[in-house]
């Protein structure tokens, strides 16, 4: 298993440009999430999905779009990048909920995005 | 999900036990206590979780007080590779994918 993979690892954008951060998992997890982490801070939830075709907003959704057409993939789109979106982005996936709640999350290695 | 309070930083000597406290005084009956850590520039890594009973795995032990208002993560023999930010998170099983990360505790293990 590759686990959770993210591409690209690094990206520099100019203000107003658009791009898509890719996230894929091969563990057949239903739940996937996107977080951002600013310097010296904890992670903040952007969007999440509880299964193919189902997405919902997290704590800081503005400026980001997501879709979930397959179980494996959960791309994050920046439609018009702004300097405030300079951050490290982490994708995560989670086990199915089981009795006893062993629903630990698995995180990808992150994408470091700079918006000039 | 209940809020947690952790000290911002702590040091630990290599080979000694590291005891990381977490307060979660507003925890609800169905909420679990989770611990994750984040080594510099990497994605967070799951460590351990528990509901009421103390738990132990190959990485750490989790001690939860009887009233469940606080817990302690124990790294029994800290190594330099345990230097990381440690996050204590409280959440209910049906909170979907959401994890509320606070600022965590920066643990520095010194030789």
Judged against a pLDDT cut of 50, whether residue A100 lies above it is answered with no
Per-residue pLDDT, A85: 97
A10 interfacial to chain B (CB closer than 8 Å): no
| Predicted local confidence at residue B100, as pLDDT | 77
Nearest CA of chain A to the CA of B101: how many Å? 5
- Per-residue DSSP letter, B8: S
pLDDT (mean) for A26-30: 89
pLDDT confidence tier of residue A102, bands split at 50, 70 and 90: low
**What are the pLDDT digits (tens) for B22-76?**
999 999 888 889 999 999 888 999 999 999 989 999 999 999 999 999 999 999 9
Mean pLDDT of A45-68: 93
Q: Residue B96: which pLDDT band, with cuts at 50, 70 and 90?
A: low
Task: Let me know how long chain B is.
Answer: 111
DSSP output for B36-80: EEE-TTS--EEEEEESSS-EE-SS-EEEE-TTSSEEEEEETT--G
Q: A97 and A103 in contact (C-beta within 8 Å)?
A: yes
Confidence of residue A99 (pLDDT cuts 50, 70, 90): very low
pLDDT over 70, % of chain B: 93
| A101 vs B34, higher pLDDT | B34
CB-closest option in A4, A42, A90 to B102: A42
Contact A29, A47 (CB under 8 A): no
Cβ–Cβ below 8 Å for B96 and A104 = no
Pick from A45, A49, A108: CB nearest B43: A108
Q: What does the pLDDT read at residue A98?
A: 52
Q: What is the mean pLDDT of chain A?
A: 90
Instruction: Give burial (CB, 10 Å; 0-12/13-18/19+) of A25.
Output: buried
Distance between CA atoms of residues A43 and B72, nearest Å: 21
């Amino acid at each position: 298993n590759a686990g959770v993979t993210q591409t690209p690892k690094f990206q520099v954008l100019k203000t107003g440009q658009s791009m898509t951060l890719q996230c894929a998992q091969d563990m057949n997890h239903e739940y996937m999430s996107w977080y951002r982490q600013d310097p010296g801070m904890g992670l903040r939830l952007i969007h999440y999905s509880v299964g193919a075709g189902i997405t919902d907003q997290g704590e800081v959704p503005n400026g980001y779009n997501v879709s979930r057409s397959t179980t494996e993939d959960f791309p994050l789109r920046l439609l018009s990048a702004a300097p405030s979106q300079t951050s490290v982005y982490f994708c995560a996936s989670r086990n199915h909920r089981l009795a006893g709640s062993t629903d630990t999350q698995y995180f990808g290695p992150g994408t470091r995005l700079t918006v000039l | 999900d209940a809020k947690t309070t952790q000290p911002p930083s702590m040091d630990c000597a290599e080979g000694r036990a590291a005891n990381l406290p977490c307060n979660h005084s507003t925890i609800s009956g169905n909420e679990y206590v989770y611990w994750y850590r984040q080594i510099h520039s990497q994605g967070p890594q799951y460590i351990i979780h528990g509901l009421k009973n103390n738990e132990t795995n190959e990485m750490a032990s989790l001690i939860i007080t009887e009233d469940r208002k606080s817990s302690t993560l124990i790294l029994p023999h800290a190594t330099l590779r345990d230097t990381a930010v440690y996050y204590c998170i409280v959440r209910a099983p049906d909170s979907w994918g959401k994890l509320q990360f606070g600022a965590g505790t920066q643990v520095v293990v010194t030789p």
